[in-house]
A and B are shown apart, each in its own frame.
Chain A
Amino acid sequence: MTAESAPTVGGAATSSTWLPGWFEAWFPVILLAVVGGSLPLWGDSFFGIIATRVCVYWVLVSGLNLVVGFAGQLAIGWVSLLTIGAYVASALAAGRVTPEIPAYVALVIAAMFGAVFGFIAGLPALRLRTFYFAMTTLGLSTIVTQIALAWRSVTGGGVGIPGPSMPAPFDTPWGFYYFTLILALICTWMTCNIAASRFGRSLVAVRDAEVAAEAVGIYKPGLLMTVFLFSGALAGLAGGLFATLQSYITPDAFTFDLSVLFFIAILIGGRGSILGPLLGTAVLTVLPEFAAPLVQWSTFLYAFLLLVIVLLVPGGIADLLDFRNRKPLDQHREIRPRPELLTKVLEDRKRESVLELKGIVLAFGGVRAVDGVDLQLTTGEVHGLIGPNGSGKTTMLNVISGYYAPQQGSVKQDGTDFTREGSYTRARHKIARTFQTPRIIGESSVIDNVMIGGTLDGHASFVEAMLLLPRQRRDEKHLREKAMAALTLVGLERIAGVRADRLQHSELRFVEIARALMVEPSFLLLDEPAAGLSVDEIERLGELIKAISRRGTGVLLVEHHADLIFDICDRVTVLNLGKVLASGSPDYIRSHREVINAYLGA
């Protein structure tokens, strides 16, 4: 999320400006209300029609924004849903299938159809890679147009059908404008709320750091399908409004150019932003109107703008408006964790727990990366896992955290076997990890990155988040407080509001630790956390890890820094060529002859 991100309900110091938190979060709503609401004062009724069109398109784009901008799914052919919504609303209002239905009801039903088809359109996204999915949406938009042409009894075929007419007071041009403006405002508000909730953050996580998202318990299919459903509903509603605006719809009104407009508005506006795409939609809709000779160039200009944005300003308008992240950061930042604050983040673990791996065998093709390994982790212990490159350390970590299912062997925690369960279930079992290369969402702020760790803490549903009901507000407050505590613990609280891609490598490692701690793990798996850290930082890292283990968490530390291992580990296991070479106390390992030969040296 970018500059105008989360409302600071709870008062954490991420909004460093003098504006109240809700103003920043809801700025798009406020802007739209002020500019849009005052329109009759400074624009004529021609501009009213254009503004109505902006509102109708924005209803669709606000939903599509979550799909394209937040989830990163390149749904290029979304005009198909506009078409479906328009025809459903018009056919029902004109009484072509059922007796005539009142306009409001027709709009609601159009939204429902949109939701269903949005869901269907989104299903391929779960399996297909980006380009393929983009192609399927293109294919879908062609199909829908062809069906609209063919199904003459309902859609009027090529001749078309009249759109729904609104009852008073929305049947005048200005009346209808206010109707669409109100709907646009509601959609803006809802999407702002979603963006500032764990759903918004999860979407961005799935887009930019999918592996890390799974590790904290985000279940991608469920999340994506919810968003497609929501986006489809808004698109269907927009379709009904479009049909009313046009007063008569024919298949040739639903051009590919419209799909392009919707899609490009989001990218020009900037991913992960609400304000950017809102401005983008307004600009792209209005632009051709005030330069009449340019009308036939409009789609060319949209495409050109898209190219410019992709090559020069990938962050779009939102990036240009992101003033907070222009402020220079202090160059000599030190990371000083405060292990004493651990009590605020992790509860004291009373019960002992054991994570047992038995006989793990994992082969890739012909190569046995892990060949019969036993490993036992106990809470309250730091267990080191060392060995030469290619010995299977990271693979073991990946088996424990569920990215690979072993061909043989089991992973059990206190008797519960979850060998074959997917990686997204680990967070539920209170197992958290960090990664060899930090998996961080560069475009989001540091605190947003950490808050992702607490996704499973949230109880509010998508609808509650959308409508900012009390349970959602409580969730957010609690989550933000906990995240600040975690950041303070690792010593990064001063850069909580900074975009994560501005951080140094070592800071990112600590951010990952803070994120993992949000899970309140029984077992914390660290994958080479000391790589790239300075000597001082390694020392502080060691103290932090020791404190974590003393608090009752079991830590598995995969590392190459022998000093760190022998300093803080209670037990050490050495792997070589996928097998356990030796396992025991640090002293035992240090003097083990085979270990010295294979790995440690003299």
Chain B
Amino acid sequence: MKFDCRKVTRRGLLKGSAATAAASLAPGVYMPAIANTDPIQIGYLPAFTGPSSSTGIGIGRGTELAVQEINAAGGIKGRKLEMVMRDTQSDPTKAVNAAAELTRRHKVTIMWGPLNSGETAAAIQNIARDGVPHIHPCWVDSLIDVKKYPMAFRNGPSNQQVGAAANHYVVNVSKAKKVAIVSDTTGYGTASLDAYTPALKKIGGDVVYSASVDANNPDLKPELLRMRSAGAEAIMPWSVNAGFLARIINTRAELNWDVPIVGQTTLGSGQTKALLAKPEHWEKVYPNNFRNLSYNAQGQLPPQSAEFVERLRKAKVDFADTLLWWVALGYDGPRLIAEALREAGTAPADITAYWNTKVKGWKGVYGTIVWSPDNHDGFQQEEIIMVQANSLKDGAFKLAPGYA
């Protein structure tokens, strides 16, 4: 265990309020947790407010439950797990500040999050520089790089994997060759567009329309008309903005255009549903989801997930207004963290080594994770599938038609 003892002098600045402010900022005398009963601090960077907050809220519920369960079962060898949380407000600037506070002032052992790609892109450099083991679930491909960020691991799919699953469904399963891809103008949207358009072409798809559209635009009819006149047989929207997705779905209905909409998970969220003009519009909408958390043809969840749902109900965790997979993802993160701490201790090098070598088929509720020294993208391609949006029940869906 490393020691790092520093004495810091307090210093007041000029007058009254300034002095109080400075005093609260300058840290007091700091001693690390060498005692065996002090809690282990884990940095946690969700966005509970701001435009990308619905993910944060959903994931947060799972994380909270996991931490409760871990601590109730005795914690990590008698030490409690403590999540030190800072709300990034969906703002990369605040994410950088908050990450620095957690790594440098609180000296957290492991960092969990940020949960949104824009924020992680900004914060990951400093987290890596500060040598803190890092797990995040963000999808943007460049956020995992074993050379640049050797201590960063992903417990969710990469964008590339998600797109591959959707593309596979459109071209191979539903046999629609001519495809229209549309995204909003955020980082996530445009990155997806850039990645999936060539990927689609590679598996034999014909991209007849590919554009990024401002999510605030109230009228998407011109865009859909353009798609239709280009002969599109399927629409693939990539955006987490429920309003934008709802408009696409509504406009498809207004045009009486019967093509499947296949794409981003949020197509199936409660928010999107609320913004539909009519419930029937939700037919033939197939969002991404995950096999572990989807109902089979008989309407059942896999056993591990069914049991998880029971546990959620018992703990009175609400998940009907969010997506079950967000809660599951939030639940798996702390458990991966806890296992490493239990088996390998709190030294960064040990934790990283553990994750590099000992996580081979870790069965999470969300997905099965496999990591290796040259692959920190843990999620398995087969576990990413498409589901039917209008089969939403208790935050989970039925598999889309056509899967074996």
* Residues of A bordering B, CB below 8 Å: 35, 41-47, 49-50, 53, 146, 149-150, 152, 157-160, 173, 245-253, 255, 257-258, 283, 286-290, 292, 295-296
B26 within 8 A of A: yes
B186 within 8 A of A: yes
Contact A47 B185 (CB under 8 A): no
- Which of B97, B101, B187 interacts with A158 by CB under 8 Å? B187
Contact B100 A253 (CB under 8 A): no
CA distance A158 to B13 in the complex (A): 42
Which residues of chain A come closer than 8 Å to B118, judged between CB atoms?
160, 250, 252-253
- Which of A246, A286, A292 interacts with B93 by CB under 8 Å? A246
Contact B25 A49 (CB under 8 A): no
Give the shortest distance, in Å, between B103 (CB) and chain A (any CB). 8
Which residues of chain A come closer than 8 Å to B87, judged between CB atoms?
292, 295-296
Select the stretch in B165-173, B189-197, B242-250, B255-263 that faces chain A: B189-197
Contact A49 B186 (CB under 8 A): no
Contact B101 A247 (CB under 8 A): no
Contact A159 B91 (CB under 8 A): no
Which residues of chain B come closer than 8 Å to A286, judged between CB atoms?
21, 25
Using a CB-CB cutoff of 8 Å, which residues 165-209 of chain B contact chain A? 185-191, 194
CA distance A157 to B11 in the complex (A): 45
A149-B185, A152-B194 known; A47 vs B21 contact (CB < 8 Å): no
A45-B104, A159-B140, A252-B90 known; A50 vs B97 contact (CB < 8 Å): yes
B154 within 8 A of A: no
Which residues of chain A come closer than 8 Å to B129, judged between CB atoms?
173
Which residues of chain A come closer than 8 Å to B142, judged between CB atoms?
159
Which of chain B's residues has its CB closest to A172's CB? Answer: B129
Give the shortest distance, in Å, between A165 (CB) and chain B (any CB). 9
* Residues of B bordering A, CB below 8 Å: 8-11, 13, 21, 24-27, 49, 86-87, 89-94, 96-97, 100-101, 104-105, 118, 121-122, 124-126, 129, 140, 142, 185-191, 194, 212, 214
Contact A42 B8 (CB under 8 A): yes
CA distance A462 to B351 in the complex (A): 59
Most A CB within 10 A of own CB, among B8, B24, B93, B188: B93
Which residues of chain A come closer than 8 Å to B97, judged between CB atoms?
49-50, 53, 289
A150-B185, A160-B187 known; A45 vs B100 contact (CB < 8 Å): yes
Contact A292 B185 (CB under 8 A): no
Contact B190 A253 (CB under 8 A): no
Give the shortest distance, in Å, between A549 (CB) and chain B (any CB). 54
Contact A252 B26 (CB under 8 A): no
A245-B96, A250-B121 known; A292 vs B86 contact (CB < 8 Å): yes
Which of chain B's residues has its CB closest to A159's CB? Answer: B191
Which residues of chain B come closer than 8 Å to A43, judged between CB atoms?
25-26
Contact B187 A159 (CB under 8 A): yes
Contact B122 A247 (CB under 8 A): yes
A44-B8, A53-B97, A253-B118 known; A35 vs B21 contact (CB < 8 Å): no
Which residues of chain B come closer than 8 Å to A149, judged between CB atoms?
185-186, 190, 212
Which residues of chain B come closer than 8 Å to A44, judged between CB atoms?
8, 27, 104-105
Contact A246 B92 (CB under 8 A): yes
Contact A247 B186 (CB under 8 A): no
Contact A251 B104 (CB under 8 A): no
- Which of B21, B92, B194 interacts with A252 by CB under 8 Å? B92
A42-B8, A158-B191 known; A253 vs B93 contact (CB < 8 Å): yes
Pairs A–B under 8 Å by Cβ, sample size 11: A35-B13, A146-B185, A150-B185, A152-B194, A157-B185, A159-B140, A246-B122, A252-B118, A289-B97, A290-B24, A290-B25
Report, nearest first, the 5 A-B pairs whose CB atoms are least far apart: A158-B187, A158-B190, A247-B125, A46-B104, A157-B190
Most B CB within 10 A of own CB, among A35, A50, A157, A290: A157
Give the shortest distance, in Å, between B55 (CB) and chain A (any CB). 15
Which residues of chain A come closer than 8 Å to B24, judged between CB atoms?
290
- Which of B10, B26, B96 interacts with A47 by CB under 8 Å? B26
Contact A248 B121 (CB under 8 A): yes
Contact B187 A252 (CB under 8 A): yes
Give the shortest distance, in Å, between B28 (CB) and chain A (any CB). 11
Contact A46 B101 (CB under 8 A): yes
Contact B89 A248 (CB under 8 A): no
Which residues of chain A come closer than 8 Å to B214, judged between CB atoms?
146
Give the shortest distance, in Å, between B320 (CB) and chain A (any CB). 26
Contact B190 A152 (CB under 8 A): yes
CA distance A245 to B123 in the complex (A): 10
A44-B27, A46-B104, A296-B87 known; A250 vs B92 contact (CB < 8 Å): yes
Contact B187 A251 (CB under 8 A): yes
Contact B91 A47 (CB under 8 A): no
CA distance A555 to B24 in the complex (A): 65
Give the shortest distance, in Å, between B86 (CB) and chain A (any CB). 6
CA distance A50 to B187 in the complex (A): 26
Give the shortest distance, in Å, between A73 (CB) and chain B (any CB). 26
CA distance A246 to B25 in the complex (A): 22
CA distance A402 to B187 in the complex (A): 56
CA distance A252 to B241 in the complex (A): 14
Most A CB within 10 A of own CB, among B118, B129, B189: B118
Which of chain A's residues has its CB closest to B25's CB? Answer: A290
Which of chain B's residues has its CB closest to A45's CB? Answer: B104
Give the shortest distance, in Å, between B334 (CB) and chain A (any CB). 21
Most B CB within 10 A of own CB, among A45, A46, A251, A292: A46
Give the shortest distance, in Å, between B248 (CB) and chain A (any CB). 18
Contact B185 A49 (CB under 8 A): no
CA distance A257 to B9 in the complex (A): 34
Which residues of chain B come closer than 8 Å to A283, judged between CB atoms?
21
A160-B118, A247-B126 known; A46 vs B92 contact (CB < 8 Å): no
